Structure 1
Amino acid sequence: MQLRDRVFLLLGGTGGIGQALVEPLVQAGARLIIASRTIDEKPRVIAREETPGTIMTVRLDLSADDLDHQLVGLSERFPVIDGVIHCAGSNHFASISQAPVRAIDEQIAVNLRSAIIVARHFAPRFSQRGTGALVFVGSTFGSIGFPGYTAYCATKFGLRGFSEALRRELADTGVEVMYVAPRATATAMNPEAVNAMNKALGNVMDAPEAVAGQILKAMKKGQKRRFLGWPEKLFVVLNSLLPRLVDKAMLKQLPVIRRFLDSGATQ
């Protein structure tokens, strides 16, 4: 995938993995339009001898009912957009009986609905142009259901399926569709209960910068799908072929998971 001189719309670029992607994308020669519902619309310049570039910031509410209309206005303002990186996300660590409806709605809207609407808007434009890129950042939990993340897993499973179907639908066009699935990542989105649980379970949490580096590597290689982390990549395959083995492993972990799930220290 070409990065130099490509104009990417970066969704979720103000925190976690998205924020970690900004610097390496600019260093690779890309121009960025960073969208968030909480930022000021002020352009800034990253000056590098080898890669000077401009970063524009715009407001975009991915959970809004009128997201499609917001995207029309954005395209009219920035018709040069020829790539989208969707790494916005929302999660909520709680048992299903304790999950607030608003948190469920937010996860569906941000993690899944917005990705579909964004693709619906840009895919025909990119197809007509003969080139374009749609990059979706999912999760290992898009392949492995995990206790306490039932709604989150549902949205990420949906995102993985959507990106796969979309890639096949656009296979005869010039549009590249990529899905990248990080494992647990140390971002502010995780409440302390989750950090403590991962430590107790021995789960490795990657730094956002490390994940961003892997995403950039996958983009440069033009990989259609990439799962990050070991042994998580193995578990993804096992869960697909022999889910009962993963069921048993999760059952053994469940007492530890419940200790943090029911601690009251949820997000």
Structure 2
Amino acid sequence: MKLHDRVFLLLGGTGGIGKALVEPLVRAGSRVIVASRHPERIGHLEGVSPVCLDLAAVDLDQQLARLTEAYPEIDGVIHCAGQNRFAGLARMSVDELDAQLNVNLRSAMLVARHFAPRFETAGSGALVFVGSTFGSIGFPGYTAYCATKFGLRGFTEALRRELADTAVQVVYVAPRATATDMNAEAVNELNRALGNSVDTPQAVAAAILKAMENGDRRRFLGWPEKLFVVINGILPRIVDKAMLKQLPVIRRFLNTKVAS
């Protein structure tokens, strides 16, 4: 897809990967409408319009309707908002579970439900969803996060096939570990202990834009993570055994006060 002369609604654009997407999109010739619960944090940037939107709200569908009334020219959406918490399932509160379900999965479904018919009628449009390697590989300490990202991957796959005979593009990009403020220090220490590679938000943003420009349907980032995704889909017992060996290290960081 082209990026020049596009109007993208960017969800999750005030931190991490989303924030790293703003300037490259503007440089590519796009206008960016950054939606956030705290639009005042976005500042004043040429080519960028901050708007208020709460992805966890019960009335998200109504908020989206008001947003498109104000900005009917939107012809692309990039959904990279997300929440997670590194903790054992028993230590997760109901509110924390609901927050991840609402932001990571429910909001993506409502956004697509709102924009897909409009893009189909317009004869063009793009829906871009940022998932995770944990949307293909279950990882201890991320049960809720994995559930939402598995759901997001399945949703985008089904949606892409549902819209296959239309001009609406559906793109799914799955980063591996990324250095964002969303990670607690225990997570950073765990990645170091396991020797996991961690990408910068800027590197992930560049890969997302490349996937969009190339018209990729799906893109998984990182090596050997891409290989593990394939192995886990075919021979999950191999990944089970590898995770079991890592479990003592994972538990050590999972049970720290920082993680809780």
Q: Classify the TM-score, shorter chain.
A: over 0.9
Shift of 1:12: 0.1
Contact 1:43/1:55 (CA < 8 Å) preserved in 2?
Answer: no
Deviations 1:177-213 (A, max 9, x none): 0000000000000000000000000001100000001
1:10 corresponds to:
10
3-state SS of 1:9 partner: strand
Is structure 2 residue 188 aligned with structure 1 residue 195? yes
Contact 1:5/1:29 (CA < 8 Å) preserved in 2?
Answer: yes
Contact 2:16/2:201 (CA < 8 Å) preserved in 1?
Answer: yes
TM norm structure 2: 0.98
Shift of 1:74: 0.2
Letter in 2 for 1:72: A
Shift of 1:100: 1.3
C-alpha distance in 2 between matches for 1:251 and 1:161 = 26
1:253 corresponds to:
246
C-alpha distance in 1 between matches for 2:229 and 2:124 = 31
Deviations 1:207-252 (A, max 9, x none): 0000001111111100000000000000000000000000000000
C-alpha distance in 1 between matches for 2:213 and 2:203 = 16
1:89 corresponds to:
82
Shift of 1:266: 1.4
Letter in 2 for 1:187: T
Contact 1:41/1:56 (CA < 8 Å) preserved in 2?
Answer: no
Letter in 2 for 1:13: G
2:258 corresponds to:
265
C-alpha distance in 1 between matches for 2:181 and 2:224 = 24
Contact 1:41/1:59 (CA < 8 Å) preserved in 2?
Answer: no
Identity %: 70
Letter in 2 for 1:86: H
Write the mapping of 1:98-247 to structure 2, written as runs, cut at 5 A.
98-247=91-240
Letter in 2 for 1:108: L
Contact 1:43/1:56 (CA < 8 Å) preserved in 2?
Answer: no
3-state SS of 1:81 partner: coil
TM norm structure 1: 0.96
2:29 corresponds to:
29
1:49 corresponds to:
none
Going from structure 1 to structure 2, the CA distance change for 1:19 and 1:42 (only over 3 Å counts) comes to closer
Shift of 1:40: 2.2
Structure 1 runs not aligned, ≥5 long:
47-53
C-alpha distance in 2 between matches for 1:43 and 1:158 = 33
3-state SS of 1:94 partner: coil
Letter in 2 for 1:256: V
Write the mapping of 1:30-109 to structure 2, written as runs, cut at 5 A.
30-40=30-40, 44-46=44-46, 54-109=47-102
Shift of 1:43: 7.6
Contact 2:14/2:41 (CA < 8 Å) preserved in 1?
Answer: no
Q: In angstroms, what is the RMSD of aligned CA positions? A: 1.1
Letter in 2 for 1:16: G
C-alpha distance in 1 between matches for 2:83 and 2:91 = 17
Shift of 1:265: 1.2
C-alpha distance in 2 between matches for 1:43 and 1:110 = 23
Count how many residue pairs are aligned between Structure 1 and Structure 2.
260
> After the TM superposition, which parts of structure 1 deviate over 6 Å for at least 4 consecutive aligned residues?
none
